[in-house]
Structure 1
Amino acid sequence: MTNQIVQGILLGGYYALIACGLSFMFSVMRIINLAHGSLAVLSAFALWLLASHLHVPPFLGLAIVLPLMAVIGWALQRFLLERSARGGALLPILTTFGLAIVIDNVLFEQFGADTRSLAPFIGSLSYDSWEWPGSIYVGKLAVIIFATAVVLLGGLQLFLTRTGLGRSIRATSEDPDTAGLVGVDARRANALAAAIAMVTVGLAGAFLGMRATFDPYAGATQLLFAFEAAVIGGAGSLWGTLVGGIVLALAQTLGAKVHPQGFLIGGHVAFLIVLFIRLYTSGLGLRGLLRFSTGKVS
């Protein structure tokens, strides 16, 4: 049981990493990016191309891919999300859904349905481990991913609270009109936030490729894990994202211990339990949820 808990906590670091950008964009721009998983897979394919064709190691390739992802995030906000947001809350969601379909199918057209992995390009790191007391083996890559998630979330928290740009982003998320009155450029703040979110997506895609296999349509599964972790931890909360990722991963690992098919089921059950608890504690309830779904909640 101890081994399952340790492995679940480490897996939670990956879920927190992939949920970080989703939660960050929602907290700042109130947008649920349904292309989140597909963009992570796009970064994984970019690193795979650099490694397989140009012999650039994945960790070195991040120096190329992460700035590229930042540019994609900036362009995505300036030319798609910003304009679609003028049409209401639903249009940006539909826009990112369409973007996900485009990315998935372009990747499929270019690379086919075969699965790829970055594991062959990182040597023994993909399978090396440390032995802890009690015959517990902890993967080195899993520890690196968990540490990266903690450092990234902590760095973002410090950025938002201790820097002028971070405070501008927070002010824009609270009230863009009032922030504009005190000299904050809301467009610039949102574009910067989208660029930062895409950098986290690029990191998540890199570790996805290192720890597992991926294919052009793997984005939907990653989006699901990211969404569940973000909701469990409280959408918009950075440290809550880490807690949500750990809770989701523990539910999955313990579910797999109960039944071979319980890995995904355990995570979904944990997500639904937390979701309904949040609905009831917020005073929404089932009746309110039905009213919300029909658009009758003010």
Structure 2
Amino acid sequence: MIWLNQITQGLMLGGYYAVLACGLSFMFGVMRIINLAHGSLAVLSAYMLYFLADRFEIHPLLGLLAVVPVMALLGWVLHRLVLERSARAGALVPLLSTFGLASVLDNTMFEGFGADTRSLAPYIDSLSYDSWTLPGGIIVGQLAVLTLVVAIAMLGGLQLLLTHTALGRRIRAAAHDPDTAQLVGVDARSVYAAASAIALATVAVAGGFLAMRATFDPYTGPQQLIFAFEAVIIGGTSLWGTLLGGIVLGIAQSIGAQVHPQGFLIAGHVVFLLVLLTRVYATDRFRSFVRSMRRPARKA
């Protein structure tokens, strides 16, 4: 029963990781860009929600109605000013650009808000500690369940967007072959800007749940980026794969914490490395097979 409880808690934790990794997976799937400022942008949205709650007494869930559009606009601007220009210089330059952006954001937030840790838990009433008791005595937090539901809804919404809307079809076309998409009238530049806006809108939601479930400070972003990156690698770059990756990472960390006090992070990292090495090995074997098929047969 103890292990069943740990798996359940890991499932709930995986919902948060899926919310956190959603924007990172979406941006990489569309533009093949790894946004190293992803975690810092989530913390920025957490500070926005904290400001609204502390100064104007706006509930964080209602505050998302204001923060999500602001972050979406920031994503559009980020693409136009940084990502679009840096992508022209090769795959490495966007990494360096977003790494620099993360450093600027972290230090700016430190200058503006100080080093004190903050949380939105005091502003969500009893949601931060209320729970339900399942059969077998397993206790799940209401906030954790809400986070998992939001993860499924957000990933499902993005999937519906990609498959049943005109914008989604343009995004898929630009992600698959931007040059050909341009020939049939798809403006890849505008599509990528829209995709960046959508990705940062999901980052705003991730920042909200980060601040509601735990404490944060100006330098919390890099650790959140690691969790999001591991979830994406474990599950693959598909949207539902991101949910699976988050759940696997959450369960691994939960079981690791049960085995050893320091096993929470170690178990997650081990699973990530095993999946990464397996993917690299499988890719190498596939490439070797393709090369052997292309090699001309020797004449007798």
Instruction: Determine if the TM-score, normalized by the shorter chain, exceeds 0.5.
Output: yes
Aligned positions of 1:98-117 closer than 5 A: 98-117=100-119
Residue 254 of structure 2: aligned partner: 253
Pairwise CA RMSD: 1.1
1:141 Cα offset (Å):
0.4
Structure 2 match to 1:211: 213
Q: Secondary structure at the match of 1:138?
A: strand
- Unmatched runs of 5 consecutive residues or more in structure 1: 286-298
For residue 54 of structure 1, report the CA deviation from its aligned partner: 1.3
1:276 aligns with 2:277: yes
Partner of 2:65: 63
Q: After the TM superposition, which residues 1-298 of structure 1 pair with which residues of structure 2 at under 5 Å, given as runs?
A: 1-234=3-236, 236-283=237-284
Which residue identity does 1:206 align to in structure 2?
A: G
Indicate the SS of the match to 1:247. Answer: helix
AA partner of residue 284 (structure 2): G
CA distance in 2, matches of 1:91, 1:34: 12
Separation (CA, whole Å) in 2 of partners of 1:79 and 1:104: 19
Residue type at the aligned position of 2:257: A
The secondary structure found in structure 2 opposite 1:282 is: helix
| One-letter code aligned to 1:249 | G
CA distance in 1, matches of 2:111, 2:10: 35
Please give the secondary structure, in 2, of the residue aligned with 1:213. coil
Instruction: Give the length in aligned residue pairs.
Output: 285
Q: What's the TM-score once normalised by structure 1's chain length?
A: 0.94
TM normalised by structure 2 equals 0.94
Question: How far apart in 1 are the matches of 2:249 and 2:130?
Answer: 25
Deviation, structure 1 residue 284: 6.2
1-structure distance, mates of 2:241, 2:19:
12
Aligned-residue identity in percent: 66
In 2, the alpha carbon distance for the partners of 1:57 and 1:149 equals 20
Deviations 1:127-175 (A, max 9, x none): 0000111111110000000000001101101110111100100100111
- Residue type matched to 2:231 in 1? A
Instruction: Report the Cα offset of residue 177 of structure 1.
Output: 1.2
- Quote the Cα distance in structure 2 between the aligned partners of 1:125 and 1:169: 37
User: Where in structure 1 do 4 or more consecutive aligned residues deviate above 4 Å?
Assistant: none
> For 1:206 and 1:10, how far apart are their aligned partners in 2?
16
SS at match of 1:283: helix
